[in-house]
Amino acid sequence: MTTPLEAMFAKTRKENRAALIAYLPAGFPSQQGCQNAIAVLAQAGVDAVEIGYPYSDPVMDGPTIQQAADISLKGGTGAKEVFSTLEFAHDLGLPVVVMTYWNPIERYGIDRFAREMANNGGSGVITPDLTIEESGQWKISTNKAGINTIFVVAPSTSDDRLARVTSQCSGFVYAASLMGVTGARTDLSTSGHDLVERIRKTTDLPVAVGLGVSTRAQARTVAGYADGVIVGSAFIKALLEAKNEASGLEAMGVLARELVAGVREGR
């Protein structure tokens, strides 16, 4: 069975272009606000959405995403809200994945979480703090539910480990192009390109690059060598810095259209 995510990457590969994947935490800037934002992103032409499961002690998220997660948690976002956001994005026709730390999955119930992902139209889950050595039960549950398991690799990942991690991925491989936490950056490191080249020696899966992209030019650069460009902090910043939700959504839509154009100019 092919997930919507896999079908999307097959389509963009056929079109000889990268995909733009937009990240937003569930429940940010509010539950309704998040749905409004996803609708704006869909209208702007993003290819897929990554829904963040807000977490109180993130290891990978920079200050922008942390601030958004705090707002979301204060608004009472939990598993129910994550799954309803997932369903909303899926109903708009977007392939959708969830990014979550392991603790919420374990707390919810591993089998149950995988099942609810599938029931609400989710294609897969990105688990940044789950090692492949500890993922046995998760792999069984996700295989049963028919969803993708997406693991994160970084420039510091050794060649030997890279091959072992990518062999456990499905859907795509998440390449964190910079050491450190997430956040929009003015300059992009060359480590992303080098990492993607190393990943390609180990797998035929699509490779999506996250961490740092915030402009059309940066999106164009990353789209030149990756199969997917993941943007989160720049979208969140547009909402955080706006004087109200309406102007935030407008700014986010403008940015999304710029990034969509940049990704399509990459090759």
Residue 59 burial (10 A CB sphere; 0-12, 13-18, 19+)? exposed
Which position among 61, 81, 116, 227 bears the catalytic label? 61
Catalytic annotation present for 61: yes
Decide: 177 and 209 in contact? Cβ < 8 Å: yes
Catalytic annotation present for 70: no
pLDDT confidence band for 63 (50 / 70 / 90): confident
Q: What is the pLDDT of residues 8-49, one digit of tens each?
A: 999 999 999 999 999 999 999 999 999 999 999 999 999 999
Which position among 6, 50, 81, 227 bears the catalytic label? 50
**Amino acid sitting at position 124:** G
Q: What is the pLDDT of residues 161-181, one digit of tens each?
A: 999 999 999 999 999 975 444
What are the boundaries of each domain within the chain? 4-264
Q: Domain 4-264, what architecture?
A: Alpha-Beta Barrel (3.20)
Decide: 72 and 25 in contact? Cβ < 8 Å: yes
pLDDT at 57: 66
Beta-strand relationship, 96-99 and 173-176: unpaired
User: What's the average model confidence in pLDDT over 185-200?
Assistant: 77
User: What's the average model confidence in pLDDT over 237-257?
Assistant: 94
